[in-house]
Structure 1
């Protein structure tokens, strides 16, 4: 049975690990933490590897990391010192990375490889919750700097065979991501945006679903929700990888006044 493709929220900075004693996060973040913690158990089978697309890595041509992801890339700022000492010591998945490159090039997408960058917090923060023992190898894939939604859906479609090969495809971003807008006054706009996104992304007709999500700028408050859409584009890859299978919103909550959703495709 193929694995689904997922779009998950990765939170804000090291939000799940702010307590130096390892206690639970701020109550606001606990539902998201619980969702992430249950991801692997919710799957039809345990993945042999993970391919993760983070909203924090862009390259001109889509690029896959073929190294071991270490040292981690602490690309957040202004947080407590201990959050810059976090570890997530999973192995890389170079075999998966090279398979990704072959699939993309076979579909007509130039695809680069690199081994020096390390995993950004869009990888290690959610994965430290989802795979706390770091016992599933992982390869990271970049976005393209053009942020073309149709191209990213097509990239996901090219990667769909991985789902039959025991590889879990994860898009890691945030369904709402406006760092200048916080608080309860934002919630009505965030809810309207999220309602439209959920309706489109779970449309039972696969062709219509794809077309509606590609046209995300037509949704209410779209450019308020995403002044720049890098945190939304991982959803496009997950949707493309999910193919014609079912699409569900399997997480929805509010943080920082934002409605935030997660999705499962296929």
Structure 2
């Protein structure tokens, strides 16, 4: 059975950079068993009702501005998989989870940056999934849990976002390896909660975690919540392992968590 993962997608520049984090993701993709398909929840696709992609071939969305021209030349024309999409629809229907099917939307950079680093050959079908930041963490977890059976069919489930993601707090002049203490304290609290599968604390992170208002700012939690979708997909095993953690700009976290 494949594990599920939470993968930080960082800044779009990761797509053209060669650094500690991109090298780690390249290696991770080579060492994992090749999945039959990938179900990916992206922080950059928000919706009030769960959206499930049913796309033959994805266009590449450049949902950013002001970056080097090389980024806008990258394409990741992944194909979908109607069989897996139908399985997801059936699972949601059976468990009473409202959803809509999306037949046109391409892959945003929260999806294709991660996928391209893990699987550069674009040879694995992808089912893109939205996130709803307005749901409670428990509800987000339950959506992930509803898909846990797919892991037994060699489907890889990924939540793409960032555990510490506050663009207003970035320290652009930070040296490599320099970490803002508030960011580290939040991630260390999160690490303890995940390793102990402490759902009670994790589901109330915004009121109990140190520096939660900085790490997951009140104006936007969309990058944090993919963690709960990925975690829920491993509810039947409830094990968590930190595979990588580094930072850019003082506090933008590059964390990879394995569940199950």
Deviation at 1:15, TM superposition (A): 2.5
1:85 maps to 2:73: yes
Name the residue aligned to 2:2. 3
For normalisation by structure 1, the TM-score amounts to 0.89
8 Å contact kept, 1:10–1:125: yes
How far does the alpha carbon of each residue in 1:119-161 deviate from its partner, in whole angstroms, 9 at most, with x for none?
1001111111110100111010111252421100000110100
Q: Report 1:255-266 matches (<5 A).
A: 255-258=248-251, 259-266=253-260
Name the residue aligned to 1:133. 121
Structure 1: where are the runs of 5+ without partners? 18-23
CA distance in 2, matches of 1:68, 1:83: 24
Name the residue aligned to 1:72. 60
How far does the alpha carbon of each residue in 1:88-134 deviate from its partner, in whole angstroms, 9 at most, with x for none?
12211222122112112211111110111111001111111110100
1:216 maps to 2:205: yes
Q: 1:187 aligns with which of 151, 158, 180?
A: 180
Q: 2:162 aligns with which of 174, 185, 188?
A: 174
Q: CA RMSD in A?
A: 1.6
For normalisation by structure 2, the TM-score amounts to 0.91
Name the residue aligned to 2:21. 32
CA distance in 2, matches of 1:69, 1:193: 39
- 141-150 or 119-128, which deviates more: 141-150
1:235 maps to 2:234: no
How far does the alpha carbon of each residue in 1:147-182 deviate from its partner, in whole angstroms, 9 at most, with x for none?
421100000110100000110000000111000112
Distance 1:36 1:68, change over 3 A: farther
1:152 maps to 2:137: no
Runs of 4+ in 1 over 6 A off after TM superposition: none
